[in-house]
Copies of this chain bind each other. A is one copy, B any other.
């Protein structure tokens, strides 16, 4: 447990407040050095190349240059830096893409300081760190080996989805299709899982992306 060379960091977040908070947090803790900051994915790539940090703390969901794309690019470049995703919500739809892209860990911003520190140390060593919520999501994703979204929808599910896209409520869909509201909800639950969507709005979006609708 002796103090070795400090772990060098690059902080990537579009919110200055968050960047300052992280910088301060790591500045006051021993064993870390914040090399620099970036406010977007593209900027992160530049800074990473220039500063060569051990660990990159990266937010997803940034206006200019998505975090996932940046991670993928770092992986492609075989960058030495380990990427630790630091996001706000476990509901983030980019969770799986980020990990697929090569993120070493995935933490929620509300994680306690110590957890964050140990996560960074773990990431520096190449070990994977996941928030409990993320972890449980991952296992279920792994348990279903299919690509999380390529599962085909059943005819009935497509029918329900089409009505959803028109703004039809569950009750209306039920009457429209001569089935009960419970059945509509069942179809919805199933197609949420198949599409990897969190709610009806996201389901519609995914459906359009995949060409199922429109």
Partner of A176 from the list B61, B164, B169 (CB cut-off 8 Å) is: B61
Which of A21-29, A132-140, A196-204 lies at the binding interface? Answer: A196-204
Known: A198-B167, A200-B200. A172 touches B205 (CB 8 A): no
Which of A38-46, A76-84, A85-93, A119-127 lies at the binding interface? Answer: A85-93
The CA-CA distance from A185 to B164 in the complex, in Å, is: 20
Which of chain B's residues have a CB closer than 8 A to the CB of A15? 178
Q: Do B88 and A201 touch (CB < 8 A)?
A: no
Which of chain B's residues have a CB closer than 8 A to the CB of A200? 199-201
**Residues 162-214 of A at the B interface (beta carbon under 8 Å):** 164-169, 172, 175-176, 178, 197-205, 208-209, 213-214
Known: A204-B204, A204-B205. A167 touches B93 (CB 8 A): yes
The A interface, classified by DSSP as helix, strand, loop or mixed, is: loop
Partner of A201 from the list B89, B91, B203 (CB cut-off 8 Å) is: B203
- Number of copies of this protein chain within its complex: 2
In the complex, which residue of chain B has the Cβ closest to the Cβ of A214?
Answer: B208
Which of chain B's residues have a CB closer than 8 A to the CB of A91? 167-169, 172
Partner of A88 from the list B61, B175, B203, B209 (CB cut-off 8 Å) is: B175
Q: Do A205 and B209 touch (CB < 8 A)?
A: no
Q: Please provide the 4 A-B residue pairs with the shortest distance between their CB atoms, ordered closest to farther.
A: A167-B202, A167-B198, A165-B205, A208-B208
Q: A residues touching B (Cβ–Cβ < 8 Å)?
A: 15, 61, 88-89, 91, 93, 164-169, 172, 175-176, 178, 197-205, 208-209, 213-214
Given A93-B167, A165-B202, A165-B205, output 13 extra A-B contacts at Cβ < 8 Å.
A15-B178, A88-B172, A88-B175, A88-B176, A166-B198, A166-B202, A167-B197, A199-B200, A201-B201, A202-B204, A204-B208, A205-B208, A208-B208
